[in-house]
């Protein structure tokens, strides 16, 4: 239990590095949705979807490879750092150079031909992100979450300040949404100063033995990330293609994409929890993999993870009547709010999938991850193709839920054959089902007075927490290991 408490503590600290920046970014949603119409916000979302894909390619899975090879007994961690940083920077410089050289034709292809500078700014932004990916990974490996959090928070504080300056004080409609990209680029320059010591101490290095081995380990992780982004971002690219004309009466597909993107922001709250957990858990899993008690430990980690995510899912879903006023500027975006509980559950399953995926990472079988996520990507494309024309962005939301749940199920089934872990599937399923039932029941109860509604919803959450506490304290649903007879 002490290891789990330590992991929880590190997750909280990494959470500060994720939650505070993402929360600050989330605060930009009302600013952006007040200034930009859904159509323009849709263009912003469309471009960022491509950036999300490319960020995965830029880092080439080298963060995970760095963890793996730097933790091998007897490994020279500094040498592994130099190898990983060399690989990432080589890829990033090449890609950004190509994007800058072909900025004009790329802008025309993306239907922003009047703004080739957007391509240049985004190419430089991605280069700076990639340049500090391995230094950030080193902080995680060295268990320095406070410095990690400080860097993330400072970066976003700068970005938020620049957003307010550009959009409220120095706004030029001719630049429009480009100011958001420019703010991010300038904020990323801060990382060069923050990691100056790491970057200056780096020496380009290629090892004839270790580098190819790292690349072989990393590229399935990269492919897994790319197809994973298909699962996450594909709907934002194809909603404009496959949504029938006038599906939403009198509104364009770009408008629908803007609404979808704004409401999708609420799922970021679950995504933040998952990201914070991953930052702490990835090195945790590697460092504890050799422990004979690791299967039981990993099972408990996933169990408590599910409980926390269920509370978050419940808390956001039943408080949307208040949250919409705080975080979405225009009422025309509110029509998409019913998709939020679906997307939150989808991300919960994605987090469970990340937990289940520990088996192929610690056994050096990362190609299984590529196969699973490739299957998920294919299913994402198929379901969006089938569901968008009949259900719009609600169809995209259900597609995400089906895909992530399927990936978690397949990963669990394969993992039990390769690296058995006694996950508390029955108990975890009960918590998820109970949360779903609560959200469904409460959504059918209307309380006209806003303050009474707030009090009622918070009372439900506190009651749910109390029930969970009693169940966990009393051991009503014991783990598989606890059900075994002594000596088994």
Q: Note the pLDDT tens digit of each residue in 11-29.
A: 555 555 555 655 566 667 7
| Segment 317-354, tens digit of pLDDT | 988 888 887 777 677 888 888 999 999 999 999 889 98
- Higher pLDDT among residues 325 and 383, named by residue: 383
What are φ and ψ of residue 253, in 5° steps?
Answer: -60, -35
Task: Specify the DSSP class assigned to residue 337.
Answer: G
Q: How crowded is residue 379: how many other Cβ atoms within 10 Å of its Cβ?
A: 17
User: Where do the structural domains in the chain lie, given as residue ranges?
Assistant: 2-444
Q: How confident is the model at residue 402 (pLDDT cuts 50, 70, 90)?
A: very high
CA dist., res. 1 & res. 441, Å (int): 35
User: What's the confidence (pLDDT) of residue 24?
Assistant: 60
Structure confidence at residue 302 (pLDDT): 85
User: Rounded mean pLDDT of 95-124?
Assistant: 92
CB 137 within 8 A of CB 277: no
Residue 7: pLDDT over 60:
no
| DSSP H stretches of helix in 294-423 | 294-317, 320-327, 340-356, 358-362, 367-418
The predicted pLDDT at position 23 comes to: 59
| Cα–Cα distance for residue pair 321/314, rounded to 1 Å | 13
Q: Collapse the DSSP code of 167 into the 3-class scheme (helix H, G, I; strand E, B; otherwise coil) and give the result.
A: helix
Span 244-296, pLDDT tens digits: 888 888 787 778 888 887 888 787 778 777 776 776 666 666 666 666 777 78
What letter would DSSP give residue 428? H
Q: Determine the Cα–Cα distance for residues 70 and 87; give it in Å rounded to an integer.
A: 15
**Dihedral (CA of 245, 251, 252, 253) sign:** negative
| Residue 204 binned pLDDT confidence (cut-offs 50, 70, 90) | very high
Q: Are 7 and 280 in contact (CB under 8 A)?
A: yes
The more confident residue out of 329 and 141 is 141
Alpha helices in 71-144 (DSSP H): 77-101, 103-109, 116-131, 133-141
The residues, ordered by sequence, that sit 6+ positions from 487 with a Cβ below 8 Å of its Cβ are none
Q: What's the pLDDT score for residue 488?
A: 37
Instruction: Give the model's pLDDT for residue 483.
Output: 42
Is the pLDDT confidence value at 104 over 90? yes
Residue range 457-474: mean pLDDT, rounded:
89
Average pLDDT over residues 383-397: 91
Residue the block writes with tokens 């706004």: 171
Give start and end residues of each alpha helix (H) in 419-487.
425-443, 450-474, 480-483
- Tell whether the model's pLDDT for residue 128 goes beyond 90: yes
Band of pLDDT at residue 486, cut at 50, 70 and 90: very low
DSSP secondary-structure letter at 176?
A: T
Q: Minimum mean pLDDT among 48-62, 124-138, 178-192, 382-396: which range?
A: 48-62
| Residue 259: HSE in the Cβ half-sphere, 13 Å Cα cutoff | 23
Length of the chain: 488
60, 207, 225, 318 from 89: Cα distances, Å: 10, 16, 18, 45
pLDDT at 119: 93
Strands (E), 18-58: none
Mean pLDDT value of segment 128-144: 89
């Amino acid at each position: 239990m002490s290891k789990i408490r330590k992991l929880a503590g590190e997750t909280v600290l990494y959470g500060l590095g994720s939650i505070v920046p993402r929360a600050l970014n989330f605060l930009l949603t009302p600013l952006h949705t007040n200034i930009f119409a859904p159509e323009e916000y849709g263009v912003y979302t469309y471009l960022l979807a491509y950036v999300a894909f490319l960020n995965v390619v830029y880092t080439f899975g080298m963060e995970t490879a760095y963890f793996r090879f730097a933790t091998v007994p007897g490994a020279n961690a500094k040498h592994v750092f130099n190898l990983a940083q060399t690989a990432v920077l080589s890829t990033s410089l090449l890609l950004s150079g190509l994007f800058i050289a072909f900025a004009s034709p790329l802008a025309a292809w993306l239907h922003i031909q009047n703004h080739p500078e957007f391509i240049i700014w985004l190419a430089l932004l991605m280069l700076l992100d990639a340049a500090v990916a391995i230094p950030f990974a080193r902080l995680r490996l060295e268990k320095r979450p406070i410095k990690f959090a400080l860097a993330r928070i400072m970066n976003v504080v700068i970005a938020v300040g620049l957003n307010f300056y550009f959009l409220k004080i120095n706004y030029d409609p001719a630049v429009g949404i480009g100011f958001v990209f420019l703010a991010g680029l300038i904020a990323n320059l801060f990382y060069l100063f923050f990691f100056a010591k790491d970057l200056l101490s780096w020496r380009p290095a290629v090892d004839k033995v270790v580098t190819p081995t790292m690349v072989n380990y990393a590229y399935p992780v990269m492919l897994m990330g790319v197809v994973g982004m298909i699962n996450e971002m594909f709907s934002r690219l194809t909603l404009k293609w496959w949504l029938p004309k006038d599906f939403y009466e009198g509104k364009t597909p770009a408008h629908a994409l803007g609404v979808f993107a704004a409401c999708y922001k609420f799922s970021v709250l679950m995504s933040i929890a998952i990201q914070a957990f991953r930052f702490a858990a990835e090195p945790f899993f590697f460092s504890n993999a050799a422990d004979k008690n690791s299967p039981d430990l990993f099972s408990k980690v996933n169990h408590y993870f599910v409980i926390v995510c269920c509370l978050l899912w419940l808390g956001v879903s039943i408080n949307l009547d208040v949250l919409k006023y705080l975080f979405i500027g225009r009422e025309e975006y509110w029509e998409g709010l019913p998709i939020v509980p679906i997307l939150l559950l989808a991300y919960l399953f994605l987090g469970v999938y990340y937990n289940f995926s520990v088996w192929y990472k610690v056994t050096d079988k990362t190609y299984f991850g590529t196969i699973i996520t490739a299957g998920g990507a294919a299913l994402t494309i198929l379901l969006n193709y089938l569901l968008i024309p009949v259900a719009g962005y609600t169809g995209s939301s259900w597609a995400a839920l089906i895909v992530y749940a399927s990936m978690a199920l397949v990963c669990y089934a394969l993992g039990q054959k390769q690296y058995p872990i006694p996950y508390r599937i029955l108990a975890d399923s009960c918590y998820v089902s109970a949360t779903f039932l609560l959200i469904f029941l409460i959504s059918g109860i209307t309380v006209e007075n806003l303050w009474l509604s707030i009090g009622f919803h918070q009372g439900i959450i506190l009651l749910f927490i109390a029930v969970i506490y009693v169940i966990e304290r009393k051991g009503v649903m014991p783990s598989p290991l606890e059900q075994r007879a002594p000596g088994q």
